[in-house]
Chains A and B, each alone.
Chain A
Amino acid sequence: MSFRTVLSTTAAVLLFVASPALAQAPEPGDEWRITMSMSAEGFNMPGRTSTQCIARAQRAYAPEPDDKNCRVLDVQTSGDTTTMRMVCTGDEPMEGTGTFTTTDKIMKGEMVMKMRRGTARMTYAGENTGKACDAKALERQANAMIAQGQAATEKYCTDSARAGTLASLFFGANATCADAKYKQMYCGNVKGERGYEMLANEAQIATSTRNPNPVPDIERACGISMAGMERELCTTAEQRKSWTFLAKSCPAQAQPLAAAQCAGRGYTAMAESPYRAFCSAYGIEPVSSDDAAAKPADAPAPAKPAEGGVRRGIRGLRGVLGR
């Protein structure tokens, strides 16, 4: 524990920490102006003044150490004054004494802590400004903001899960919407061709951004297998006439079909072919040079014997000139 941490721990002991429970009703309080200062070996923090609303019921001093290594002992109260002893163990053991006086109009206190490195002293003085206030107002505001934030997160996570956007929201170490209920909503999208394409897209994004691939997590959470989906969908794609999916996602099935039905086929000649949509989709997919021969070609491959020199010359000329 560093020396400065010691000081802040000491100061935390003396702060009136509001209860984290949701406060619905106002609590009568008084406005206090409090000045706090600290000093230690070679360190001085000048007095800082703040205004706080302190509940009247809370004004009786009840020390609560902020550090689990610290214990408050020998608390004794006489009239408006309370004395106590504090002992802290751990990396930086220390012992200290405190004296705190609180009346309706003033409060003052001093805490002196002795450590191996020296002595730290914290003092505070406060006066009741005479203004009444709601001691729970700040807490209610904070709770309302927290509730708003939680509601916004809930909506965002629900909407995103239902739409099946961004697996990284739901899966992985930094998932914002890691709750199982959102994962289940997300899993509702991972079905059929659209679901398979979602997984393929997530894998592609992970590769291009050099992030962990979320697909294994999705498979586990949703009880699915991407490879199994691919097998089932690709073996039936031609039967279902799902040409774009076949061309884009099923290379093992697409290539031989393209070689049989598209290779070298002219665009105009294929107008009435049942495979035209497939050839069109396959034509824009990137393929290896080995598969390039399966691509359709705008102009059909010539079927007649080699033409004479004059015709070759005319055709070549047309190829050069505007058309």
Chain B
Amino acid sequence: MRTAAGVLAAVGLMAGLSSPAMAVSDPYPHVAASYVLAIDDAVVWAHQPELARPPASLAKLPAALVLLRDGWREDAVVEVSAAAAAIEGTQIGLRTGERLRAGDALTAMLLHSANDACLALAEHAAGTAAAFVARMDAVARDLGLRGSRFRTPCGLDAAGQASTASDLLTLARAAMARREIADRVTPLRATITTVGGRRLTFTNTNALVGRLRGAIGVKSGFTSRAGQCVVALAEREGHRVWLVLLDAPNRWWVADGMIEAAFASIARDRVGPATAR
């Protein structure tokens, strides 16, 4: 646990640093309540990056980090409680008492944003949702996230629950540094089989994967209070573009357009001067 915390702290420190010579501009202030776009290690575009907003299912990223640092076992058997089976929002349709592998539940939670799988994992790891949320706050502290506080394990709206685009970028970098997460957010779909033999197939809720060239993650999110949110990552020719959008009407078109513009700026800066954007 200490080693994992140390890794998290190192990631947080690294993610918090940006090139001192890179000026951050805001070329698209109209697209979202808040956004951050980074090219490799440097944030280049941002709009109100420290604005506290409900994170919706983007909170599943710190939840995944908690699960992986606290005695994680892929083949541990997780039993679905009544509360998990009855949870609101996106689900894969788990039933009370159903049992499945922790690894499969994690896949459903990250790929399909399944709240039933998420709560089942949280209860399995910490006993109660409240205890699990305390661990999420601990992860946030270890990463140096000053704008994040969590109240629910899976991102459902709750008073006092908030994060920022900047914090979510740090969380995304930490998450994608873990193979257990990175491998689960890239496929277009997945099929799992419960212990009882029921097969469940679900799709990636991140519409960019398979449509935007180089898109390899990370997480979608939506609630009525959060609006449309996404943490996106695309990789081309050795460069990574990270994008966090909070409350972005038409988030997929916006994410697609901004990431394409970011890659175009990399190519442009290689052959000529950087423009005001």
Contact = CB atoms under 8 A, between A and B. Distances in A.
Nearest to A165: B273
Given A283-B254, A298-B253, A322 B115 contact: yes
Interface residues of B, number: 40
A321 B222 CA distance: 8
B257 A284 contact: yes
A267 B273 contact: no
B256 A286 contact: no
A144 interface: no
B89 interface: yes
Nearest to A265: B253
Given A322-B155, A322-B222, A323-B205, A283 B273 contact: no
A281 B261 contact: yes
B256 A280 contact: yes
Interface in A203-231: 204-205
Interface in B202-257: 205, 207, 210-211, 220-224, 228, 249-254, 256-257
The interface residues of chain A, by DSSP majority, are classed as helix
Interface string B14-33: 00000000000000101100
Nearest to B59: A322
A1 interface: no
Contacts of A205: 276
B258 interface: yes
Given A298-B228, A321-B223, A284 B28 contact: yes
A163 B261 contact: no
Contact of B156 (A163, A244, A322): A322
B111 to A, nearest CB: 13
Nearest to A287: B30
A164 interface: yes
Contacts of B56: 322-323
Interface of A: 163-165, 189, 194, 197-198, 201, 204-205, 244, 267-268, 271, 277, 279-284, 286, 295-298, 319-323
28 contacts: A163-B272, A163-B273, A204-B276, A205-B276, A244-B264, A267-B207, A267-B250, A281-B257, A281-B260, A283-B250, A283-B254, A284-B253, A284-B258, A286-B28, A295-B250, A295-B253, A297-B250, A298-B251, A298-B253, A319-B224, A320-B223, A322-B56, A322-B90, A322-B113, A322-B154, A322-B155, A322-B157, A323-B56
